[in-house]
Amino acid sequence: MPTTMQEATAAIRRMFDSEGWKYDFDADELAFTISFRLEKTKLSNIRICIRCKPYRQDPALCQWISTFAYIPLAADEECRLTVCEYLMRVNYRLSMGNFEMDFSDGEISFRQTFNVLDGMIGDDALDDLTTLPVSMFEKYGNGLISVMMGAATPEEALKKAQDENG
């Protein structure tokens, strides 16, 4: 059964409210924004935007829900290729979601998308909208910083992240 836009936004709102989290909702963009403090990395916080995308043929239906997670740190122009290599090495091992970098400004994000056109995702997947990006930046954030600072190669940083986090 197709998921309506109202059902999708209500499910996300319910999840946030049940956790007691403070968030913003932009009704025009159909997007929720929430911030989390990171505890297991030198990165301080993460801003997550969860967006519901209307189905083109019927805007009352939700086609997909996407999470875009951003850190308040961008790769300098001179290290973007090296940072990109690190992110691609990390991505190769991921089964859900992926890291991205905007080459024009060095912005780094983590993205995941769930297709909900044929039915709303379950509570576990809803929880993944926030927990997965947080855990990915906590697991790979220190390696990212090491690569950005020139303190480690992408391969060394990935190995260290895997050794420390399993």
pLDDT tens figures, 135-162: 999 999 999 999 999 999 999 999 999 9
Which helix (H) or strand (E) segment holds residue 35: the answer is strand 31-37
pLDDT at 72: 94
pLDDT at 160: 96
pLDDT at 165: 82
Predicted confidence (pLDDT) per residue in 40-70, tens digit: 889 999 999 999 999 999 999 999 999 999 9
pLDDT at 120: 83
Bridge partners of 100, per DSSP, are 109
The closest alpha carbon to 69, from 141, 153, 164, belongs to 141
| Per-residue burial over 58-67, b = 16 or more CB atoms within 10 Å of its CB, e = otherwise | eeebbbbbbb
Q: Where are the domains of the chain?
A: 5-165
Grade residue 1 by pLDDT with cuts at 50, 70 and 90.
confident
Output the pTM of the full model.
Answer: 0.92
pLDDT at 123: 86
Is domain 5-165 in CATH 1.10.600.10, yes or no? no
User: Quick one: how far is CA 16 from the chain centroid?
Assistant: 16
The closest alpha carbon to 15, from 26, 23, 27, 3, belongs to 23
Grade residue 129 by pLDDT with cuts at 50, 70 and 90.
very high
Grade residue 121 by pLDDT with cuts at 50, 70 and 90.
confident
